[in-house]
Amino acid sequence: MDKLLKGIMKYRCTVKEQMVKQFLDVRDNPTPKAVFFTCIDSRMIPTRFTQTNVGDMFIVRNAGNVIPHSQHFMDELTTNEPAALELGCVVNDIRHIIVCGHSDCKAINLLYQLQDQEFSSQTSYEELRDNRRISPLRAWLSTHALSSLEKFQQLEITDYSKPLIFQAETPLRKFVAYIDPENKFTNEDKLSQINTLQQLQNIASYGFLKKRLEKHELHIHALWFDIYTGDIYLFSRGAKKFVLIDEDNVMKLLQEIEKYYS
């Protein structure tokens, strides 16, 4: 709290005035451009690494940047992420949804460990249920991120060489993904990349987005942040892999976005 209060004091005499001006501009002319899903990890500061500002993005954060599939909304218990999608894409007519995963994600590292338990015939149902009851994090991951784990296991079976197939905006818009083809990252990071891509299908599962997605008025993108290098990757459906966003690739990536999403 000490650090926080001192920070607020510094904010008051440095950026506050400029921010209030920006708030007024946004009130008169609100044009948010993206709904951005990312992890709660303290190292992830999306407005800094995308250099975005007041009024630019709606940001939704949770452990492991997971968007529950709509099948879990049926019981009306899981409402946060879909409510954010509705507020962003329907009420505010935002056209781009971005899911941003990252390396060394503690939630994904736990999900990776859970595979031994969730898929092991040695673990009894009661044991699994008790584990979930005492750990909301385990419950969250094993309910909503198991589909990512299943995809990871498909990759494992093929010794990480075969591509995976994901679904994006509509069931017809499937895409192929080679996960970490240069084998630069750990298994946990590979799972994190898979989990990021899996969310595209989960987002598209919501009926209230269906028309917008079918008419190509709403687009879903996957970003991945490598914490220890600071590099950011965009999933390219043309290249079928995460491509580093740098001086060499950025124009190509922008052209692809225009081609695919116009």
- Residues near Zn ion, by CB under 5 A: 39, 41, 105, 107
CB of 189 to Zn ion, least distance (A): 11
Name the residue nearer to Zn ion (CB basis): 65 or 201.
65
Q: Give least dist CB 172 to Zn ion, A.
A: 31
How large is the C-alpha radius of gyration of the chain?
19
Question: Which residues are CB-contacts of 187 (< 8 A; sequence separation ≥ 6)?
Answer: 112, 152, 156
In angstroms, the CA 10 to CA 33 distance is 29
Q: What single letter denotes the amino acid at residue 148?
A: S
Comparison of 39 and 111: residue with beta carbon closer to Zn ion: 39
Instruction: State in angstroms the smallest separation of the CB of 162 from Zn ion.
Output: 26
In angstroms, what is the minimal distance from the CB of 155 to Zn ion? 20
Find the helix packing angle between 106-118 and 125-134, rounded to 10°: 160
Question: Which of residues 89 and 200 has its CB atom nearest to Zn ion in the complex?
Answer: 200
The tokens of 215 are what?
Answer: 């008419």
Identify any residues that bridge with 235 across adjacent strands, giving them in sequence order.
242
- From residue 96, how far is each of 58, 88, 213 by CA, in Å? 11, 9, 10
- For Zn ion, the closer of residues 41 and 188 by Cβ is 41
Minimum CB distance to Zn ion, residue 35 (Å): 18
Q: Least separation, in Å, of the C-beta of 45 and Zn ion?
A: 13
Structure tokens at 50: 């995308």
Distance of CA 145 to CAs 72, 150, 225, Å?
A: 12, 9, 19
Name 176's bridge partners.
Answer: 165
**d(Cα 114, Cα 116) in Å, to the nearest integer?**
5
By C-beta, is 39 or 57 nearer to Zn ion?
39
Whose Cβ is closer to Zn ion: residue 198's or residue 213's?
A: 198
Tell me how far, at minimum, the Cβ of 126 lies from Zn ion, in Å.
30
* CA dist., res. 226 & res. 230, Å (int): 5
* Of 63 and 94, CB closest to Zn ion: 63
159's tokens = 């010794």
Query: SS3 for 97?
Result: strand
